Amino acid sequence: MIEGIDDLIKNGWKKSKDGNAITKTFIFTNFIEALGWMVKVGVWAEKLNHHPEWDNVYKTVNVLLTTHDKGTITNLDVTLAQKMDTIYES
């Protein structure tokens, strides 16, 4: 098991049915806040060279993280998920 997954699960992340990805829905007060969060996360994703699968509808952002070249969850996914949570909570 990847270190940090249990803490992510406690913070609202879920494993996909096949166990090869983690997902979470982030809800904001409006579109601008959702978009601003995505931009901040995007900077970190670029720094980590690890990019999320996500979609945004108005104030809701759905995220799926997996490491495609490994076919499963890795430390990169945990690191990016933790960053997403930190930015969301700030």
Per-residue pLDDT tens for 33-85? 999 999 999 999 999 999 999 999 999 999 999 999 999 999 999 999 999 99
pLDDT at 1 over 90: no
How is residue 33 written in tokens? Answer: 């806040």
Candidates 56, 51, 66; CA nearest to 27 is 56
What pLDDT score does 2 carry? 85
Runs of H (alpha helix) within 1-90: 5-10, 31-48, 75-89
| For residues 24-28, average pLDDT | 98
CATH superfamily of 5-89: Transcriptional coactivator/pterin dehydratase (3.30.1360.20)
With a threshold of 0.85, does the pTM exceed it?
A: yes
What pLDDT score does 54 carry? 98
Single-letter amino acid code for the residue at 82: Q
What pLDDT score does 39 carry? 98
* β-sheet bridge partners, residue 53: 64
CA–CA dist 13, 72 (Å, integer): 15
